[in-house]
Amino acid sequence: MTEPKSSQNSKSDKPAWQKSIDLPSERGASRLVMDELLDNLGEHGWASADIFSIHLAAEEAIVNAIVHGNKLDKGKKVHVVCFVSSTVARIEITDEGDGFDPTDVPDCTQDDRLEVPNGRGVMLIHNFMTRVEYNEKGNHVLMEKVRDA
């Protein structure tokens, strides 16, 4: 039997983790993937502040897909694809709803909206991730965080 080659930098040796899962459109369904995602970020050496950011972005995007995209319709699924390596974390989320225009979301930091209790999820996602892209319909989001060197 061949021993795995040892390395000074164990981070880069860890194979990337990928998972693809369909979540039901019900509140709390994000937990079906979240714990595993967070565990894998930790195992790939991500810092706790980055794990917090990715956790928040993923949670907000999945809740948006379930509640605003699929409107809690039990007949619809939210498709989630995760990829985690020691340098990149990528999450793609697709719902079966009509989509939305991310440029239409009002700016929650304007003085007259500061005290409105909702509408902060999309802004947090953009601030915490390196790259955020929506498809034209607006029912698919790709979020990527690149680890700082």
Partner 1 sequence: MAQYRRIGVTNNNDVAIVSFNDKKILDEASIQELGAELFGLVEQHNMGDILLNFTNVEFLSSAALGKLITLDRKVKASKGRMKMCNIRPEIFEVFQITKLNKVFDIRKDEAEAMTAFS
Instruction: List residues near partner 1 by CB under 8 A.
Output: 27-28, 48-49, 52-53, 55-56, 59-60, 63, 108-109, 114-118, 120-121, 123-124, 127-128
Count of Cβ atoms closer than 10 Å to residue 109 Cβ: 9
Measured between alpha carbons, how far is 10 from 45 in angstroms, rounded to an integer? 9
Structure tokens given for 107: 């700016």
Smallest gap from Cβ 136 to partner 1, in A, equals 25
Q: Choose between 13 and 35: whose C-beta lies nearer to partner 1.
A: 35
C-alpha neighbours within 13 Å on the C-beta side of residue 27: 0
Smallest gap from Cβ 25 to partner 1, in A, equals 13
Smallest gap from Cβ 50 to partner 1, in A, equals 10
